[in-house]
Amino acid sequence: MKITSIEVGTYMMPRHVPRGYEGRRWEVLPTVVAHLRTDTGIEGIGHTITLNHEFTRSLATMVGEIGELMIGQDPRRTEQALSKIIYPANWVGPGGLLNIAACAIDIALWDIVGKDLGQPLWRLLGGANDRIRVYDSGSLIGVDVETLQRGAESALKAGYRAMKMRPGGDRHGRIKDTVARVRAIRDVIGYDVDLLYDVNQTWTPSRAIRAGRALEEFELFWIEDPTLMHDVAGQAAVARALDVPICSGEYHYDVPALLKLLEARAVDYLMVDMMRMGGITQFRKVAAMAEAFGVPVASHLIPEVFCHCIAAIPNGLIVEGMPWTQGLFRGLPELADGKLVLTERPGHGLELDPEAVKKHRAG
């Protein structure tokens, strides 16, 4: 089997904009899709995103150029393909746009492998589970408490049994105000639903410790990215000081950076961004590395594909249910009792929705 051609499409996917976030370019998300074709008739699709609208064309161009490197390659030899993409590219990597673009190609390769073998990705990648926990990551975004509470009610009605909130306007304010926001969400969801808290790197270690101790009564599932991503020692100090689990890793590119978090015992849970890793091939290595440290793994973004990866591994913890890219596809996993039920269709089981393609295509 050989890859014969690649087609790249760019789509501007609409997003819900919470009150207080208007005018921040949240309204649309640039999504780049790679479509690989083979001489056997099997085709694979993969996608990636950018939150930087200024570089949408750059990302699409790089996806296309990497895809051209795959022409004539056997898509089943994923490590060989990766070596052709990642390792020679020392003038434009490692990390950065190279990895983000490579992710779309790597997902498409694994889609082809699954289809060739007649296996869904979750089983092909290890098959630890055929369903996996998921949390709502998009409903509890807003400035005022009333908006957050409505979001929590919406997530509950949708069937989620876990959800994530952010500090909002209290990010640098009084800790008592942060406590009040969390209490307001607990008043809506109770304690049978897990609540996650994402700081997005904005606290110092000392503030993270003070705030974390103040929030301990609310039994948070985790506190995410409490300190700057490169302050591994500071985050390790936070993890030692708190009983609340610490989760981070999404901002890091490539395997060595995540190894530093694990070696420093700076995380209780490792969050992996498949795009920053460069795709499924590299994610598998990170997951095995985390397992050696006894650390569970969570996903970041593109849940429609990442759910296969987290379900497949023995230390898979939970999937981020961020719906940004899901509107582009048919064949999404179903949500049941707070878990994503994975498909038996070969590959990742997704197909581009013709109506969405027509409506949102930008290039």
Q: Are residues 210 and 290 in the same domain?
A: yes
Give Cα separations from 279 to 60, 64, 98, 216, 344 (angstroms): 16, 16, 11, 35, 21
The pLDDT assigned to 127 comes to 98
Residues 245 and 348 in one domain: yes
Average pLDDT, the chain: 95
pLDDT score of 90: 72
251: confidence class by pLDDT, cuts 50, 70, 90: very high
Give yes or no: residues 9 and 83 share one domain: yes
User: Do 50 and 194 sit in the same domain of this protein?
Assistant: no
Residue whose C-alpha is closest to residue 24's, from 137, 143, 139:
143
The reply to whether omega before 94 is within 30° of 0 (cis) is yes
Check pLDDT > 80 for residue 344.
yes
- Least trusted range by pLDDT, from 124-138, 170-184, 274-288, 301-315: 170-184
Whether 13 contacts 51, CB under 8 Å: no
CATH number at residue 322: 3.20.20.120
Taking residues 176-201, report their average pLDDT: 97
DSSP β-bridge partners for residue 299: 272
- Give the pLDDT band of residue 24 (cuts 50, 70, 90): low
On whether the CB atoms of residues 222 and 247 are closer than 8 A, the answer is yes
What is the percent of the chain where pLDDT is above 90? Answer: 90
Domain boundaries, position 181: 122-352
- Supply the pLDDT for residue 340: 98
129 and 257 together in one domain: yes
Q: Is 19 left (phi over 0), alpha (psi -120 to 50) or beta?
A: beta
**Secondary structure class of 291 (helix, strand, coil):** helix
297-300 and 162-165 beta bridge pairing: unpaired
User: Same structural domain for residues 219 and 94?
Assistant: no
Residue 22 has what pLDDT?
61
Q: Is 224 helix (H, G, I), strand (E, B) or coil?
A: strand
What is residue 167's predicted lDDT score, i.e. its pLDDT? 86
Give 283-288's long-range contacts (Cβ < 8 A, gap of 24+).
283/309, 284/125, 284/309, 284/313, 285/255, 286/255, 286/258, 287/313, 287/315, 287/316, 288/313
Q: Is the predicted pLDDT of residue 9 greater than 80, yes or no?
A: yes
| Per-residue pLDDT band at 363 (split at 50, 70, 90) | confident
Residue 82 sits in the same domain as residue 132:
no
The vertex-216 CA angle with 212 and 220, nearest 5°, equals: 90
- Residues 96, 207, single domain; the answer is no
CA 2/CA 114 separation, integer angstroms: 15
Distance between CA 244 and CA 220 in Å, rounded? Answer: 7
pLDDT at 141 over 80: yes
Write 82-90 long-range contacts (CB < 8 A, 24+): 82/106, 82/278, 82/279, 82/281, 82/282, 85/278, 86/278
pLDDT in tens, 82-101: 999 877 677 888 899 999 99
Least confident stretch, 10-19, 55-64, 223-232, 266-275: 10-19
Write b or e for each residue in 268-288: b if 16 or more Cβ atoms lie within 10 A of its Cβ, otherwise e: bbbbbbbbbbbbbbbbbebbe
Could you tell me the CATH number of the domain that includes residue 42?
Answer: 3.30.390.10
Q: What pLDDT shows up at residue 346?
A: 98
Mean pLDDT calculated for residue range 155-160: 98
| Structure confidence at residue 327 as a pLDDT band (50, 70, 90) | very high
pLDDT of residue 88: 66
| The pLDDT of residue 133 | 98
pLDDT digits (tens, 9 = 90+) for 163-179: 999 987 778 889 999 99
pLDDT for the residue 173: 86
Q: Are residues 141 and 236 in the same domain?
A: yes
Same domain, yes or no, for 159 and 291? Answer: yes
Give yes or no for residue 119 having a pLDDT over 80: yes
CA distance 237 to 204: 11
Nearest 5°: the CA angle 51, 54, 59 is 70
- Domains in the chain: how many in total? 2
313 φ/ψ sector (left φ>0, alpha ψ -120 to 50, else beta): beta
Same-domain pairing of 243 and 333: yes
When pLDDT is averaged across residues 231-239 and rounded to a whole number, the result is 98
Domain co-membership, 216 together with 295: yes
